[in-house]
Structure 1
Amino acid sequence: MTATVADAPARPVPVTRGYRFELVKLLAQWRIRLLVIACWLAPAVFVALVSQQSSLPTDTTFGRWMHATGWAGPLVLLGFAGTYALPLLTSLVAGDVFAAEDRLGTWRHLLVAVRSSRRIFVAKSLASLTVILLLVVGLAVSGIVGGLAAVGNQPLPGLDGHLLAPGDAAGKVLLSWVCVLAPTLALAGIGLLGSVAFGRSPMGLLLPVVVALAMDLAQMLPLPVAVRFALPSYGFIAWTGLFTDPPPLGPLLISTAVSLVWAVVATALAYLLFLRRDFTSHTYDGSGRRALTAGALPLAGLLAATVGIIAASIPSLASGIEQDKVQDSVSTAFAHLYRLQTEQLHRPDVTEAQLAATTACTKGDGLVAPEGPGNDWRCVVSWHLPGITATGQAIYQLDVTPDGRYVADGDGPKEVNGYFQVRTPTGDEPNPLWQFDGTVDLLPTTPKG
């Protein structure tokens, strides 16, 4: 007998169709639509308005250069997004993609339609990651457009004082936004895990934000380098190294690899929990025990294993902030910015080699070991000018954060690093040697042994 159509086995819906269906469902939500509009419009307005203010966010990296170049604005926005916006976006998208079905009670209908829980998981995960990528691209593009429209396509001073041509600045800014995709994926994986593990409970929605906040607080502590690099949140900081010459790629590569591993492991845990969950209950609020044993404990084990691997490859378990590194960083930044000041004041040009700038730094007035973070660093920069026998000196007070970034505040002489206005093509700006940002490479400079 010939088999009838009714006798033919039902085939699962292809992943591509399920992906399109889930993507349409996400974009049909008013909350997601508002997020897309906000991410593509609000950053441009924010960057443009801040760039025109007389008071700039100088406590943020590149904030003091927002009057000078349009490429500083998207970097200020990137620092803000890594701390606040991206964790929130991953929570609202990935942290809710599975829980929404629990709230609506539509799991059984979806399973009957798709006929494969595995394909449902893949489709929902891909759809949420697509929306997150759309939001991140919107933040980056909008911030760049706002900065360029408000200030213009001017050179950008790096974190070691050297000027990046507009083309180089554009490439570095775009690469910086690409680099934060890895830690964003890690938070998205955690969001998927929370959405599956906690069901309708709001804990799943809050999990990426809570985890990101905890890791950000940890980054503010004087942790050993191995522990700092083992946290995916360091990926939201490591991009700053791109703006030195040459850029220290070690921290960026390590943070990217760590973030991607976290993303894969968290997503795999969410997948395993999803295949084991109960779809028959209309009031499923997750299983606290299963979330602990199949979610939190494996991620804690991953953190411990990552710390061990990084610690085994790094000779030092200290903070990574050492006297020699601070002195070299300050000397390099001072020499580059001295040349910028010379150009702005229309003085004869001088090269970094002619300046031969050197720096001597102490910490705590010499009463403590010159290492580690703190606002008690004091540095004396010495340099020479062609045809002048006297040695110039300038004093800086440094506030070094645990992640290696610092702010150098000029403490005399006022003719060199005091506060005064300098006329530039974009308007009057503070003396570039008055205050400047810098960074210290936390990885050891010498190989083990």
Structure 2
Amino acid sequence: MTATLPRETAAPTVPVVPVSRAYRFELVKLVSQWRVRLLVLACWLAPGLFVAGVSQQSTLPSDTLFGRWMHATGWAGPLVVLGFAGTWALPLLTSVVAGDVFAAEDRLGTWRHLLVAVRSPRRIFVAKALASLTVILLLVAGLACSSAAGGLLAVGNHPLVGLDGHLLAPGDAAARVLLAWTAALAPTLALAAIGLLGSVALGRSPTGLLLPPLFALAMSVAQMLPLPVAVRLALPGSAFVSWNGLFTGPAQLAPLLIGIAVSLLWAVLATALAHHLFLRRDFTDPAYDGAGRRALTTGLLPLAGLLALSVAVLAVAAPSAGITRAKVQRSLATAFAHLYRMQTGQLHRPAVTEAQLRASAACTKSDGQAAQEGPGNDWRCVVTWHLPGTAVAGTAVYQLDVGSDGRFVADGDGPKEVNGYFLVRTETGDAPNPLWQFDGNVELLDTTSKG
């Protein structure tokens, strides 16, 4: 008779939760928060109501890019919203979503429960990052779609005046508005990645929530300073400004493409640093309060190194970039010629082409007492043009306020019948004078033409 030994039963193994399931779980957690739901509702409703309401007012935000054209076309509204969103809305949205996605677990003390359920810190990080990205894309899509719908319903699908004065057909304007909002995703991702890094590195501290808006505010201040072009383009927020180049002919794509590439580099590096810190943290310590000194050495210093490297590369690639008198004169003359044709159509005068006008501009800065280059509100220009069959050339005076980003506002200073009054008298009544005050854009990089 033989005795048999009972077999040892192996302990059941709990399978690792796949990323897709963890992602759905994290997405549901995010969307279930009342503040996220409120943000989604606001992004899909408020821009449209704002654009529709402003478009019906007698006073327009003419100090905002494309704001002066909100009466003329529905495609101006989403660009006005984009200018505001890049400075204020998008940094705050990324702060609420990405800046708190890891810190919330620290405040609630739920890391051990989450690790038991998912059993992989790497999968937890990927799931949280993807869930944050999904919500941010939903919010950005809401801003773009709502503002476009509000403008089209309130004003209509009409041509848009570009930054060099030429008319963009409705289809062309729609495509460029879509490209502008798509380009703004790159710096938005950079801000979101910085939010993830702050949320991981600073633990339950609310400082992580403040990182994206503080970083965006610092970039906005830097963009207003007369920084070298290489430094300006090396900032991850430059794409929030350089989308302006999409609305010139030909499009000034080089600054925009550089801004997108720099923003994506920041997004990848900041996300990788956040991932590195997350995998090295101690999940068993309930009193964990951030990475401490490692947050500086592992988080801040690599980003500072990327900024320095980007500045060095761009300084070598574009040593002569900047705002020069020749560029200002060329941009002003081009915009004036296009807008003069628009005014000619309003007044039902004989048609004339830009080639026939042969418009040119002579500009001086600070009455010639300073260097004839760089930004400032002390540019004074005299535009000269020729009409067919007329021996005497026409002249008009403009005062220019040229920003550090290349955008300028040209304010007409006479003669009255050309640009000295904000209305022109047409057969159907008074209409806005396109030559009285208009926006333009100076190309910072010498790509489309030499200056």
Q: TM-score, normalised by structure 1?
A: 0.96
CA distance in 1, matches of 2:171, 2:427: 18
**Superposed CA RMSD:** 1.8
Q: Distance in 2 between matches of 1:115 and 1:208?
A: 30
Q: Give the match for residue 203 of structure 1.
A: 207
Q: How far apart are residue 9 of structure 1 and its match?
A: 3.2
1:183 paired residue among 175, 184, 187:
187
Alpha-carbon distance, 1:284 to partner: 2.5
Corresponding position: 1:27 with 2:31: yes
Structure 1: stretches of 5+ with no match in the other structure: none
Report deviation, 1:447. Answer: 10
Structure-2 separation of matches of 1:155 and 1:447 = 26
**Counterparts of residues 266-415 of structure 1 (less than 5 Å):** 266-316=270-320, 320-415=322-417
Question: Do the aligned partners of 1:19 and 1:123 also contact (CA within 8 Å) in 2?
Answer: yes
Show the counterpart of 2:162: 158
* SS at structure 2 position matched to 1:398: strand
CA contact (8 A) 1:67 1:426 kept: no
* Structure 2 match to 1:418: 420
Give distance in 1, aligned partners of 2:214 and 2:398.
38
Tell me if the contact between 1:68 and 1:426 (Cα under 8 Å) persists in the aligned partners.
no
Match of 2:265 among 228, 242, 261: 261
What is the letter of the counterpart of residue 443 of structure 1?
L
* Overall identity of the aligned pairs, in %: 75
One of 56, 59, 63 as aligned partner of 1:55: 59
Displacement after TM superposition at 1:423 (Å): 6.6
Residue 101, structure 1, aligned to residue 105, structure 2: yes
Task: Encode CA deviations 1:20-79: one digit per residue, 9 max, x unaligned.
Answer: 110000000000000000000000001111111111111110000011111101000000
Contact 2:281 2:291 in 1 (8 A): no
Q: Which structure: larger Rg?
A: 2
For the 8 Å contact 2:347–2:426, the answer to whether it is kept is no
Partners of 1:300 and 1:84 in 2: CA distance: 23
Alpha-carbon offset, residue 248 of structure 1: 1.3
Matched, 1:78 2:82: yes
**Matches of 2:172 and 2:60, distance apart in 1:** 24
Structure 1 residue aligned with 2:3: none
Structure 2's unaligned 5+ residue stretches are: 1-5
Distance in 2, Cα, partners of 1:46 & 1:186: 27
Indicate if the aligned counterparts of 1:321 and 1:373 stay in contact, CA closer than 8 A.
yes
Q: Distance between the aligned counterparts of 1:329 and 1:40, measured in 2?
A: 37
Distance in 2 between residues matched to 1:18 and 1:357, nearest whole Å: 63
Verify the 8 A CA contact 1:377 1:400 in the aligned structure 2.
Answer: yes
1:223 aligned partner: 227
Report Cα offsets for 1:244-278 as digits up to 9, x if no partner: 00001111110010000000000000000000112
> 1:445 offset after TM fit, Å?
4.7
In structure 2, the partner of 1:18 is: 22
Contact 2:347/2:427 (8 A) holds in 1? no
Return the TM-score normalized by structure 2.
0.96
| Counterpart Cα distance in 2 of 1:261 and 1:424 | 52
User: What SS does structure 2 have at the residue aligned with 1:7?
Assistant: coil
CA distance in 1, matches of 2:429, 2:243: 29
1:102-121 CA-partner distances (Å, limit 9, x unpaired): 11110000001000000000
Q: Which amino acid aligns with 1:213?
A: L
Which stretch shows the higher mean deviation, 302-311 or 415-424? 415-424
User: How has the CA–CA distance of structure 1 residues 420 and 401 changed in structure 2, closer, same or farther, with 3 Å as cutoff?
Assistant: closer
Counterpart Cα distance in 2 of 1:111 and 1:66 = 52
Stretch of structure 1 that moved more, 167-176 or 8-17:
8-17
Instruction: Describe the superposition over 1:6-27 as per-residue Cα deviations: whole angstroms up to 9, x where unpaired.
Output: 6243321100000011000000
Match among 145, 149, 162 for residue 145 of structure 1: 149
* Distance in 2 (alpha carbons) for counterparts of 1:378 and 1:353: 24
CA shift for structure 1 position 369: 1.3
Aligned amino acid, residue 17 of structure 2? V
**Does the 8 Å CA contact 2:277/2:291 hold for their aligned counterparts?**
no
Rounded to whole Å, the distance in 2 between the matches of 1:381 and 1:263 is: 45
Q: Distance in 1 between matches of 2:106 and 2:127?
A: 17
Separation in 2, partners of 1:172, 1:325: 24
Q: Report SS of the residue matched to 1:83.
A: helix
Kept in 2, the 8 Å contact 1:418–1:431? The answer is: no
Cα 1:427–1:193 shift into 2, 3 Å: farther
3-state SS of paired residue (2:238): helix
**CA distance 1:2–1:323, shift in 2 (3 Å):** farther
Secondary structure of 1:191's counterpart equals helix
